[in-house]
Amino acid sequence: MKRRGKCENCGRTVPAREIMYEIRIDIYAKGGPVEIEPQDLEKDHIAEMNKLISEMEKMDADEITDQVWESYRFDLCRECREQFHAKLKLKVSGKTPRHFRRRLKE
């Protein structure tokens, strides 16, 4: 049996005749409008920047990057993809997809 790959969730070897699914997750720091108060204008911004730089110099580059952006990629078999999809649908809509409800009862 030729193999297509291995599911990174359940570890099952997926035969070449079966479809695998790729899930990508990107996590970004959410930007937004900055609210400036009058006391913010009175701060020593150079000292604050120097403090921030000093703190960042103690951090690992990956640690700094992860605070802004992270990316994950997983290869899944059909069953794990369906479970992942059902959980996403439940989170977004509050309802489990109809085709998946039958499997939950089995």
Residues 46, 53 contacting (CB under 8 angstroms): no
pLDDT at 93 over 70: yes
Token pair in block for residue 41 = 């204008």
Nearest 10 degrees: Cα torsion 96, 24, 74, 67: -110
pLDDT at position 92 is 86
Say which residues have a Cβ less than 8 Å from residue 38's Cβ, sequence separation at least 6: none
pTM for this one?
Answer: 0.62
Q: Whole-angstrom Cα distance, residue 102 to residue 88?
A: 17
Residues 98, 82 contacting (CB under 8 angstroms): no
pLDDT at position 54 is 93
How many residues are given for the chain? 106
pLDDT tens-digit map of 25-83: 999 888 888 888 999 889 999 999 999 999 989 988 888 887 888 999 999 999 999 99
| 99 or 8, greater pLDDT | 8
